[in-house]
Amino acid sequence: MVSVPEDRRADDSARPPAGSDRREFLGRAVGACLGAGAVAGGLFHGGPAAAQEADGEKAGRLIVRTLRPVNLESAPATLDSFLTPNDEFFIRSHHGAPTVNAETWEISVEGLVDRPLKWSIKDLEAMEPTTRSGVLQCAGNGRANFSPKVPGLLWQRGAVGQAEWAGIQLGRLLEEAGVKPEAAHVHFIGGDVPPTPKTPAFVRSIPIDRARHDDTLIALKMNGEPLPVLHGGPARIVVPGWAANNWSKWIRKLVVSTEEAPGVYMQSGYRIPRTPVPPGVDPDPKDLVPVTWMNVKSLITSPGLDAQLKRGPIEIRGVAWTGEGHVVKVEVSTGAGPDAEWREAELEDEPRQGSWRRFKLAWEPPAPGEYVLRARATDSEGQVQPETSPWNKSGYLWNGYDQVACRVS
C-alpha cells in the first residue's frame, strides 16, 4: 500500500463490510488508496466513479461529463492502441457545435497580411496534405486530482487521445496570404456561437512562430475520415505537443495580429503561473502564461481501475507522451511505499515529437491481494513525471503518477 495517514486508515470506507457489494467496496478501496495522494496532491476518485470507470473500460464507452454542451471522456481501456478510434475519442466543447455544411464552409485569413484570402474546404482538399499522429489532451485532464478542488469539468484520466491528423500546414496558408513582418500572433475564430451575447466567444491565438511550424496544421481528417463535427469538423487546428486549448475547432477565420487574441478564453482562461503559488494566494498577473506545451505523462490502460485479476503472468500496458521532445522511459511500480521498486517498461513506437508511445511490462504478482500499480514517464528533455503536480487554481496540466488499484486472487 501507499502510505496512508492514520485518519484514512481508520476510515470505514476502506474496510470490506461483510456482505456488501464487492465492486462497490473495491471502488471505495480505490478511492481510499488513491486518497492517499490527497496528502501530497490529492486525488478525487470516489467509489462509484471508480467502479463506473471500470465498467466503461469493459463496455468501451465514453464517460459523460455533460451532454449540453457535449463533453465526454474516454475510458482509459479504449486508449490502449496507438490511434484512438474517433467514436471513443474524448470530446470537449465550450459552446455547442455549430451547424456545418462542408460544401459552403469557408476559412478566411485577414489582419496583418498582404492578401486577405478565403479558401473553401474543397480548395484545401486540393492542396498537398500533411499527415501525422498527435496526442490531443485537454489542459484540464486530471483536474479531479487537484486538492483543494477547483471549478471546471472534473476530468479524470481520459481527456486525452491520439489520432492521425491530416490537413494543410498552417504556415503554408499564411505564406500564401503574405504575413507582414510585425505579425506576432494568429487568432483562431471558430463557427461555434456562444449562447448569449454576453458569453465570451471561444477565441484563441498562438504565436506566429508556432503557427508557422511544420507540425502545425489545419486538419480536415481524423484517422482517415473526414473530421467529425464533434471533433471540430470540417476544420480544426492541430498543434502537436501543445495542450488542446490551442487546437481550436470549427475554424472559420484566422486573424494575423501583433497581439494575442482578446477575450476571456485567451486573457484569463487557460493561463497558469510560471512559478506555482499555493492555494489562496493570487499569482502576479504578469507571471500568468498561456498553457502551451504539455508536460510528461503516462496512463495505465490495462489492467483497468478496480480490475479483478487471476494470479499468473499479467501484462501491464499503457501510453506515455510529453510536450517538447519525446518519451524515453516509462517506469512501473507494483509495490507500495516510497521504497517500492520501479521497473523499466518496454517502449513501443517510434519516438516522435507530439506522439505517444505505448509501453508494456510483464508482471507476476507474488501473492494474492490488493495492489496499486503506478507509472511514471521521463522525456528526452529530462522531465520526469512527478508524484503529484503543483496546484493551480484552474486545475491545468495534472501529470502526477498514474495509479491503478487492482486485486489479485
Partner 1 sequence: MKFPIAAALIAVVLVLAGLGAWWMMVPEVVEAPAEPREPEAVAVADRTEEEDVAHRDLMAKKALEASCLVCHEMRMITGLRLTPAQWTAEVDKMVNWGAVVSEGDRRLIADYLARTQPVDAPPPAPELIALASVESPEIPPGDEDPIEGDAAEGEKLYMTLCSACHGPTGMGGELGPSLANRAIIGHTAAYNEIVQKGLRRMPPFGEVLKPQQQRDILVWLRGLPRDAVAAAL
Residues making contact with partner 1 (CB under 8 A): 31, 44, 46-49, 51-53, 55-56, 59-70, 72-73, 75, 87-88, 93, 96-101, 104-106, 108, 144, 148-154, 189-201, 203, 229-230, 252-253
Cell numbers standing for residue 21: 457489494
Q: At closest approach, how far in Å is the CB of 91 from partner 1?
A: 8
From CA 383, how far away is CA 361, in angstroms rounded? 21
Q: Which of 370, 302, 258 is nearest to 79 (CA)?
A: 302
Cell numbers standing for residue 358: 505505448
Closer residue to partner 1 (CB): 106 or 315: 106
Closer residue to partner 1 (CB): 144 or 163: 144
Q: At closest approach, how far in Å is the CB of 58 from partner 1?
A: 10
Please check whether residue 28 is in contact with residue 47, taking contact to mean a CB–CB distance below 8 angstroms: yes
Closer residue to partner 1 (CB): 29 or 296: 29
Closer residue to partner 1 (CB): 90 or 371: 90
Q: What single string gives the DSSP state of each residue in 106-124?
A: EEEEEESBSS-EEEEHHHH
Q: Which residue has the cell 501525422?
A: 132
Please check whether residue 279 is in contact with residue 230, taking contact to mean a CB–CB distance below 8 angstroms: no
Q: At closest approach, how far in Å is the CB of 61 from partner 1?
A: 4
Closer residue to partner 1 (CB): 53 or 331: 53
Q: At closest approach, how far in Å is the CB of 13 from partner 1?
A: 9
What is the C-alpha radius of gyration for the chain, rounded to an integer number of angstroms?
A: 22
Please check whether residue 203 is in contact with residue 263, taking contact to mean a CB–CB distance below 8 angstroms: yes
Q: At closest approach, how far in Å is the CB of 149 from partner 1?
A: 5
Q: What single string gives the DSSP state of each residue in 346-366?
A: EE-S---TT--EEEEEEE--S
Q: At closest approach, how far in Å is the CB of 23 from partner 1?
A: 12
Tell me the one-letter amino acid at 132: R
Please check whether residue 53 is in contact with residue 403, taking contact to mean a CB–CB distance below 8 angstroms: no
Cell numbers standing for residue 326: 519525446
Q: At closest approach, how far in Å is the CB of 73 from partner 1?
A: 8
Tell me the one-letter amino acid at 376: R
Cell numbers standing for residue 288: 500568468
Q: With H, G, I as helix, E, B as strand and everything else as coil, classify residue 63.
A: strand
Closer residue to partner 1 (CB): 98 or 390: 98
Closer residue to partner 1 (CB): 1 or 229: 229
Closer residue to partner 1 (CB): 155 or 165: 155
Q: At closest approach, how far in Å is the CB of 360 from partner 1?
A: 26
Q: At closest approach, how far in Å is the CB of 64 from partner 1?
A: 4
Q: At closest approach, how far in Å is the CB of 238 from partner 1?
A: 20
End-to-end CA distance of the chain: 17
Closer residue to partner 1 (CB): 38 or 328: 38
Closer residue to partner 1 (CB): 156 or 355: 156
Cis peptide before 351 (omega within 30 of 0): no
Q: At closest approach, how far in Å is the CB of 57 from partner 1?
A: 10
From CA 372, how far away is CA 391, in angstroms rounded? 23
Q: Which of 320, 325, 313, 372 is nearest to 347 (CA)?
A: 320
Closer residue to partner 1 (CB): 38 or 40: 38
From CA 170, how far away is CA 219, in angstroms rounded? 9
Q: Which of 215, 185, 191, 187 is nearest to 203 (CA)?
A: 187
* Residue 145, CA atoms < 13 Å, CB-side half-sphere: 24
CA distances (Å), origin 84, targets 87, 316, 352, 354: 8, 19, 17, 15
